[in-house]
Amino acid sequence: MAAAKGAMRDYTVYSSELNEEITLLAYLPSTFSPFHKHSLLIAQDGKDYFMYGKIRSVIEQLMESGKIDRTIVVGIPYRDVKDRYEKYHPDGKKNSRYLRFLAHELAPFLDQTFPTYQTGKGRALIGDSLGGTVSLMAGLLYPHTFGKIAMQSPYIDEGIIAKIQQFADPSLLQIYHSVGKDETAVKTTDGDVRDFITPNRKAKEAFLQKGFLYEYNEFAGGHAWTYWQPDVPLAVGRILAL
């Protein structure tokens, strides 16, 4: 895998929606130039994608091989497990505000800070588990802002499937969706044990029936970074493909 030769930068943006300062971790690739436009890859669970997902090396390798455009990665870390649940889960008390933050505050901030395309197709969201869920919800709510979604083992319920079925214009979104074949009894942060594979397969059928630009991948393994990390290059390569 290519070495990560770019630069890490920390940024802070104040969110009026959430009434808090949000720290961002940004990776400017080795080819970064303020004179060239860049795609944006925005990662929920930001620290995890840099630490466990090896996203810097993934980006460099895909750019080096000519498979993706110049890309800046922006990770959004969560403060703790409770904060993550409240922002990412559809029933979380901060979920709707976090979604508005992504579209109305984060996207404009990134466009002002970096040389970007300033289009939905130029912004991709990626996330694992609940991070994949909130990425999908952001795409369904704001498809003109976030036109590409990669979700690894997302939490799916009937409400989310209904939103997929009700989405008016599937041509606006490109989606990569993966889940592990062994995700039959996943321990969740609220203490429950849930079957992830069955609702994810139902979501797959909903995406296909609606005619989304969509790729589905079932990998051998369970609900953990051990299995998500090898899937990251495929996920990123698909949604950012030239």
pLDDT tens for each residue of 18-34: 999 999 999 999 999 99
Write down the pLDDT at residue 5. 87
Write down the pLDDT at residue 4. 67
Residue 59 covered by a domain? yes
Residue 223 covered by a domain? yes
Q: Which domain holds residue 142?
A: 7-239
| Model confidence pLDDT, tens digit, residues 75-101 | 999 999 999 999 999 999 999 999 999
- Number of domains composing the chain: 1
Residue 200 covered by a domain? yes
Residue 129 covered by a domain? yes
Report the CATH number that the domain containing residue 235 is assigned in CATH: 3.40.50.1820
Which residue ranges of the chain lie beneath pLDDT 50? none
Write down the pLDDT at residue 235. 99
Residue 1 covered by a domain? no
Residue 121 covered by a domain? yes
**Spatial separation of the C-alpha atoms in residues 5 and 28, rounded to whole Å:** 9
Residue 2 covered by a domain? no
